[in-house]
Chains A and B, each alone.
Chain A
Amino acid sequence: MNERTKRFVKSKFEEYYGRAEIKIPKDLWMREWGFVLLDQYYPAKLVMRRHKSFATKEELVNYLRENAPAHAYHSSAIYKYPAASMRSKGWLGADLIFDLDADHIISEAEFQRYSYEEMLELVKKETVKLIDFLLDDFGFREEDIELVFSGSRGYHIHIKTEEVRGLGSRERREIVDYVMATGLDMDRFLAVDLKEKDYGDEKPGRGDLRLIPEGWGKRLLKGWIDLFHEIAEMEEEKAIEVVKKVGEMEKKKAKEMIRIAKDETVMKRIERGQIPRFFKPIWGGITKTVTEAVRVKSADRPDEPVTADIKRLIRLPTSLHGKSSLEAKPLRMETFKDFNPLEDAVVFGDSPVEISMARSSSIKMKGGRYKVEEGEIASVPEHVALYFMCRGAAEIKEKTP
């Protein structure tokens, strides 16, 4: 990004902060703030100006208007002295933050294979799974879950309820492990005592495995039911293939299993959480399949997607992301499914800007598809120009003297 381009980007960011309604996080004055400015070092050297604090909303908004930063962050933690050095801040608590980024979900080796749009789709899928855990298992209320597009390739979730604030890193790690199924032992959801009498009308079959339908046990049971319904509707040859694969067994055995699976009373038993012992050989296989499908994935950095760090900085919702020019946009659960960042998080206009390409790039934004080659001079809508500039793919075209 050359100086002229930087000036242009900065003027546009200033324009945005001049008109934008900035979302102020709860307990603003107890948070530490950090910014990367569009200064002489940017973007070669990213200098984070941290340990700032603001007493009021006006102070913060003025700072944003005056500096129009490339990146704006606040601490997930609240402190007694937010502007003090790390050691003497006086930690009082921290929001529970989940940070799902394509970086964490797709391994480096696979990265090249995905387009930006595809990556966003993958991350969205993981986010949906995470939200399901938060609502259903952890019992958070929808209004307590602040969902935000990260401005780049992922989503952030902030939970700011009083009760999560005091959790330490170790406790947070347990939450990470829960949603990622780390250390999961499905056998713990098997009831061994079959003499108990709370089965309702029907007694369990002799030697049935009883699956406790709570937490991960519930998800496993759903997996069993889905699989058996699927099998019941398949052609026999196909069903045999599926069962063989799940249970790693011979054809004869698989066939026998399918015959029994199609029996309606067996199906009913399974729906009640009773797995006939006969199906024990596929227990492990189904457990593995279900776990893989349901858990929130992370490629190879187990620490990052959901952070156990209680002192980190997180991007300010409604601020701009300096590497994309997109807004870190707060989202609503109901409309999340249809959210398309490349339309809905675009804040800049359509007036034409002339750019010169530093490398070949393509992007689909606000319904238009733009594909430009290295060295090409193109006139594109402002929002596309800013996107390319922020990504370092384009410079503003030199005015001909």
Chain B
Amino acid sequence: MEEVVKEGTRICSYPFLSAASRYVEESGVTLDDLISSAVFERARLRGKERIIEAIKNGVVRKPVIISNAQAEMELLSYPFARILVSCIGDEYLVRRYALSEAKAAHEELLASTGSSSDIIYEMSEEFGIRVDFLRLPHEHAQMQVQMAFVDYLRFTSNLRDKRWKLVNRGLEKGHVKLGKSEFVRIIQEAIYERIKKDLPLDIPADICEAISGYTVDIKKELEEKRKKFGDAGFESGSGFLVKDPSCFPPCISYILSNLKEGVNVPHSARFAVTAFLLNMGLNENEIIEIYKNSPDFDEDRTRYQVEHIAGDMGGVRYTAPSCGTMRTYGNCAGNDDMCEKVAHPLSYYKLKLKKKKKNEKI
């Protein structure tokens, strides 16, 4: 009996695994049962809770599983949560939900891999990551994982911290070595991609209608979150109501001082600073003013370009480039302590502003 509960617990901690979906399939529970049968009310409520937790806390905590029945409900709550997310069909919610599930699985993996590596093997197989596990000769050394660089890139090219950059890795004969916890972090990315991949699912309208009682609370929660952080939160930059140039990152300050002194600044840097300031909430006239000292200033052209970046002409509204892109184009002006903690000039500003306010209070 204990064994069965253990297996159930294991699967329901990682409900995105193919073993889990197989389990659900074989259980004989139909979609109809899942969305309407009274027997599964617990699974449905837990499914809703998963999403609310994702919105509120950014991670879907795992309950302690004490019985088989509970394990089954926990497991079934996952497909139901996916249906809910799909019916709401909000892109931000899809990302946030996938991330929260992935984070929870990551925590779980970190906690459980101390004892055995089985689950790590299983995960690598699940995601088609070719790995070798190396053990260093002396006993207390951390286990190391070695993987093909192609797989490594597949799952890390979205990670912005420079320690993940391939160039900063001991790449030897096509293989990257990682510590165990680093490898688990990569698994988190793989999980995130897997969960996000086919969301939102194509759910018929009548089904969405039938479960609207569950979605209504989620929508409310989502709305709440939006109000607090501005519409698209970080990306649109509407969270930055305060403009404080003393909190700008070194790269942006450097470009600005060059512009002020009439130094000719490369196109990529102009793009970066313009997008950054637009994200900050400056308006187009304020930004055009900054370019007036440029040796090749042409007001009409500048206005056209600024408006283009601002998305005024029906295009996309651009977000300032990340630290990685800034470095690639040679626009990173060098690091300070704060830079170490962020991967994006906008995060730098946000963090520094927060720190400054904290200091002022004291």
Does the CB pair A167–B150 fall under 8 Å?
A: yes
Q: Hey, which chain B residues are within 8 Å of A168, CB to CB?
A: 157
Q: Which 4 A-B pairs have the closest CB atoms?
A: A139-B174, A214-B170, A139-B173, A171-B153
Contact (A184, B167) CB under 8 Å given A167-B153, A173-B328, A302-B330: yes
Interface string of B261-279 (1 = CB under 8 A from A): 0000000000000000000
Partner among A167, A177, A198 whose Cβ is within 8 Å of the Cβ of B167: A177
Q: Is the CB of B324 closer than 8 A to any CB of chain A?
A: yes
Chain A residues in the interface with B (C-beta under 8 A): 136-140, 163-164, 166-168, 170-171, 173-175, 177-178, 181-185, 188-189, 196-198, 212, 214-218, 302
* Minimum Cβ distance to chain A for residue B322 (Å): 11
Number of A-B contacts (CB under 8 A): 94
How many angstroms from the CA of A182 to the CA of B153 in the assembled complex? Answer: 16
Contact assessment for A182 and B167 in the assembled complex, using a CB-CB cutoff below 8 Å:
yes
Among candidates B138, B154, B156, B168, residue contacting A198 with C-beta atoms closer than 8 Å: B138
**What distance in Å separates the Cβ of B198 from its nearest Cβ neighbour in chain A?**
18
Cβ of B31 to closest chain A Cβ, rounded Å: 32
Q: Is B166 an interface residue (CB 8 A)?
A: yes
The answer to whether the Cβ of B220 comes within 8 Å of any Cβ in the partner chain is no
A231 CB, nearest partner CB in chain B, Å: 27
Closest A residue to B266 by beta carbon equals A300
Residues on B with beta carbons closer than 8 Å to the beta carbon of A198: 136-138, 141
Residue of A nearest to B323 (CB): A183
- B167 and A197 within 8 A (CB): no
Interface pair B138/A175, CB less than 8 Å apart: no
- Of B137, B141, B174, B324, chain A has the most CB atoms within 10 Å of the CB of B174
Q: Is the CB of B138 within 8 A of A183?
A: no
Sample (9) of A-B pairs whose CB atoms are under 8 Å apart: A138-B149, A139-B173, A163-B150, A170-B157, A170-B158, A171-B157, A175-B166, A183-B327, A197-B138
Bound together, the chains give a CA A170 to CA B156 distance in angstroms of: 10
Any chain A CB within 8 A of the CB of B162? yes
C-alpha gap A112/B156 in the complex (Å): 42
> Is there contact, CB below 8 Å, between B150 and A182?
no
Inter-chain contacts of A302 with B (CB < 8 A): 328-330
Looking across the interface, which residue of chain A has its beta carbon closest to that of B329? A302
Contact A214 B137 (CB under 8 A): no
- Evaluate contact between B328 and A174: CB separation under 8 angstroms: no
Tell me whether B150 and A181 are in contact (CB under 8 A). Answer: no
A198-B138, A198-B141, A302-B330 are known contacts. Are A183 and B168 too (CB-CB below 8 A)? yes
CB distance from A84 to the nearest CB of B (A): 25
Q: Is the interface of B mostly helix, strand, loop or mixed?
A: mixed
The answer to whether residues A178 and B166 also contact, given A137-B172, A198-B138 and a CB cut-off of 8 A, is: yes
A138/B328 in contact, CB under 8 A: no
On whether the beta carbons of A185 and B168 are closer than 8 Å, the reply is yes
A-B contact sample (9 more), CB < 8 A, given A138-B174, A177-B167: A136-B173, A138-B171, A139-B175, A171-B154, A174-B166, A183-B167, A188-B168, A215-B170, A302-B328
Closest partner residue, chain A, to B141 (CB atom): A196
Instruction: Check if B103 is an interface residue, CB within 8 A of chain A.
Output: no
Kindly state the separation between the CA atoms of A185 and B327 in the bound complex, as whole angstroms: 12
Measured between beta carbons, the chain B residues less than 8 angstroms from A139 are 149, 172-175
B163 contacts A188, C-beta separation under 8 Å: yes
- Could you tell me how many residues of chain B have their Cβ less than 8 Å away from some Cβ of chain A? 31
CB nearest neighbor in A for B165: A183
Kindly name the residue among B148, B150, B177 whose own CB sees the greatest number of chain A CB atoms within 10 A. Answer: B150
Q: Using Cβ atoms and an 8 Å threshold, which residues of chain A touch B169?
A: 215
Interface string of B249-263 (1 = CB under 8 A from A): 000000000000000
Find out whether the CB atom of A178 lies under 8 angstroms from the CB atom of B171: yes
A352 to nearest B CB, angstroms? 50
A212 to B324, CA, bound (A): 24
A216 touches B173 (CB 8 A): no
With the chains together, A263 CA to B99 CA distance in Å?
A: 55
Instruction: Tell me the complex Cα distance, A168–B154, Å.
Output: 8
A184 to B177, Cβ gap below 8 A? no
Query: B137, B141, B162: which contacts A183 (Cβ < 8 A)?
Result: B162
Interface centre among B138, B141, B148, B169 (most CB of A within 10 A): B169
Give bound CA distance, A10 to B314, whole Å: 47
> Which residues from 160 to 209 on chain B have a C-beta closer than 8 Å to any C-beta of chain A?
162-163, 165-175, 177
Which residues of the other chain, A, contact B330 by a CB distance below 8 angstroms?
Answer: 302
Minimum CB distance partner of B335 in chain A: A185
Bound Cα distance from A177 to B157, whole angstroms: 12
In the complex, A188→B166 CA distance in Å? 12
Bound-complex Cα distance A168 to B169 (A): 20
A168, B157: Cα distance in complex, Å: 9
Tell me which residues from 119 to 139 in chain B have a Cβ below 8 Å from any Cβ of chain A: 136-138
Query: What separation, in Å, do the CA atoms of A198 and B150 have in the docked complex?
Result: 29
A residues near B162, Cβ cutoff 8 Å? 183, 185
Residue among B136, B162, B167 with most chain A CB within 10 A: B167
A184 to B171, CA, bound (A): 13
Chain A residues closer than 8 Å to B174, beta-carbon distance: 137-140
**In whole Å, how far is B256's beta carbon from the nearest beta carbon of chain A?**
22
Residues of chain B lying within 8 A (CB to CB) of residue A216: 167-168
Q: Which residues of A contact B328 (CB under 8 A)?
A: 173, 177, 182-183, 302
**In the complex, are the beta carbons of A217 and B170 less than 8 A apart?**
yes
Closest to A174 in B: B166
Residue numbers in A under 8 Å from B175 (CB-CB): 139
- CA–CA, A125 to B109, complex, Å? 47
Q: How far is the CA of A78 from the CA of B288 in the complex (A)?
A: 44
A140 to B137, CA, bound (A): 28
